[in-house]
Structure formats: C-alpha cells, structure tokens
Amino acid sequence: MASVTAHKHPARSAASILDIRPMTGALGAEVRGVDFSAPLSDQEVDAVEAALSEHLVLYFPDQELEPDHLKVMAGYFGELEKERFIPPLEGHPGVHVLKGISKSKLTTQNLIWHVDHSYKPEPSFGGVLYAVDVPTSGGDTMFSSMYRAYDALSEPMKHYLEGLVAVHDVVAYGLRSGLFETEDTRQAILRMPLPAEHPLVCTHPDTGRKMLYVNEAWTTKIKDLSPLESKSILAFLFEHATQQEFQCRVRWQNKGLLLWDNKAVQHRGVPDYEGPRLMHRVAIQGTWKPS
C-alpha cells in the first residue's frame, strides 16, 4: 500500500460534508460523508471534532481502511498511545488487536464498564476501533454518558461528591481477573503504573460541562472515607452511571469505524455472540489531567 500521511488539502465546507444521525437522546451518532482512507481537509477534521464534542461517540460505516489509515485518522486528534495489555498488530506499531470478549471471566479485553486508562494521571483522549471480522449479530459495544450521569444526581449528592477524590488502580483489576496468576505475570505487577487519583466530579476541558468520573474496572476506593463508606458509595455510583437512559449501543458491521471521547463516557463490550470478533484498535494519547 502506498504511504499514508496526515497531509490535508482544500475541500468543501464542513456543513456540506457530514451526514450525522443521532443514535439516542443521550449520546452517539452514525456519521456519513467522510472517507478516512484519504487525507482529510481542515474543514473535515473540524467537522468531526465538532460532532465528537456534541455526540461523544461516532460510528462511521463502510470505511475501507488499512492499519496505516487508522494511525493517520487517530493522528488528527493526538499522538498514538501504547497499549500495555492488548497485543500489537505485527508490523504496525500503534495498532493493536482485539480478538473477542471472554464470556466467563474478567479479561484485559474489557468485559465490564470502564474508562480507558483512567488509572493513569493523563487518561486516553479517545479510542478508535475498526471492525475487521465481526459477528452478524451480537458483540455490540455499549457507551454511557458521564454528563448525563452527573446531571441526574440529586443536588445534595452533587454537592457531596464535589469534594471527593477516588483512586484508580490497574493492579486491583488484574488481581480480580486472574491476570497475575503466574509468576511471570506476578512480576509484571512491579512494572504496573502507580494508582492515580482523580476527582469524582470533573469538568470537561473542551465543553466546560461537569461529568461524573468513576468506573467499575479501575476505581477502587474513595479517599478519606472508611472502607464500608467507600464501597457503598462506589457501588451506587457504578450502578447509577450506567443506567439505560444514559446509554447508546453500537451494533457492529464489518468495515465500521468507531471514535469516542474517552473523557466523558464509559464503555464495555457485550459477550453475547458466537464466532470471531476481530478488531483493530488505536488509542489516542491524552494530555488532560482530570480536574
């Protein structure tokens, strides 16, 4: 394949390019009118950024893409981020391989609700997934809006949570999932990132909207509370944050491309399918420290 670069060229205005079809009232949109196999213009990039800011989750159907296209596409929004727990695609640094969702246990391929890399001081800006070979039904990816989750809290609960900080720890998830059952993987604990601390209520750096910042995978405790208090409040927040009315559900087809704002959503895959579910994944490096 010819070399692919992120060079931009003049094109039509953004308003004439994107066909945006909202998925639900909470978040998500199917987007047509942009081809990521070709370089994008400044207007096209701006239009996609605006759509992402409004809808948080964007699904682009019928995209004929090679791994290099995915790296260029992600590069419009930031630097590529190395995935610690997902295998790389050979010959394509920055592109990683997802090969299904476990039906029987927690895994690094994400069976429960999570925010990508919230256990780091600067979590991912966003994620990109491309469907290479997916089931004809099942294996959907679900998203939940943390704007909606915050807005739906009572005023006394909002006031209470504003002053609290939570710990996000990848090692705790690894212990629960059995990831560290062998000696080699136990040694890997020593190389894991130290836990990160983030406020339970954050302000999105681009929109200025307040959002709940917590997720079942990585959030392990609330600072300065007793263990029982922390466990009880987190259990409530995990359930509250993923209510049906805050969600959208992406139903995959081969050659579908997905981009999401990792700052303002949680997501999870649904293990309700048979057969292969092969995807290529790119993470976009974040520069925002939740605050």
For residue 290, what are the CA distances in angstroms to 31, 210, 218? 28, 11, 14
Phi first, then psi: give them for residue 34, nearest 5 degrees: -135, 140
Q: What is the pLDDT of residue 198?
A: 98
Q: Report the C-alpha gap between 256 and 132 in whole angstroms.
A: 8
The pLDDT value given to residue 221: 96
Rg (CA), the chain: 19
Q: Is 116 among the residues known to form the active site?
A: yes
Confirm whether 281 is a catalytic residue.
yes
Is 68 annotated as catalytic?
Answer: no
Q: Give pLDDT tens digits for 142-157.
A: 999 999 999 999 999 9
Quick one: which of 200, 179, 199, 178 has its CA closest to 191?
179
Active site residue 268: no
pLDDT for res 17:
80
Tell me the β-bridge partners of 279: 98, 131
Indicate the range of 6-15, 207-216, 227-236 predicted with least confidence.
6-15
Name the active-site residue from 116, 117, 148, 204.
Answer: 116
Residue 245 has pLDDT above 90, yes or no: yes
| Residue 11 pLDDT | 40
pLDDT tens digits along 67-124: 999 999 999 999 999 887 788 999 999 999 998 766 655 555 556 899 999 999 999 9
Residue 2 pLDDT class (50, 70, 90 cuts)? very low
pLDDT tens-digit map of 153-192 = 999 999 999 999 999 998 877 666 666 566 665 666 666 7
Instruction: Please give the pLDDT value at position 188.
Output: 62
Threshold 0.85, pTM exceeds: yes
Instruction: Tell me what pLDDT residue 1 has.
Output: 39
pLDDT for the residue numbered 190 = 63
Three-state secondary structure call for residue 71: helix
Give the confidence band of 279 by pLDDT, cuts at 50, 70, 90.
very high
Average pLDDT over residues 135-143: 94
Catalytic residue among 114, 148, 168, 280: 114
278 neighbors 109 (Cβ within 8 angstroms): no
* pLDDT, position 118: 95
Task: Tell me what the mean pLDDT of segment 4-26 comes to.
Answer: 66
Residue 272 in this model has a pLDDT that exceeds 70: yes
Residue 40 confidence (pLDDT): 95
Q: Of these residues, 198, 267, 268, 277, which one is catalytic? A: 267
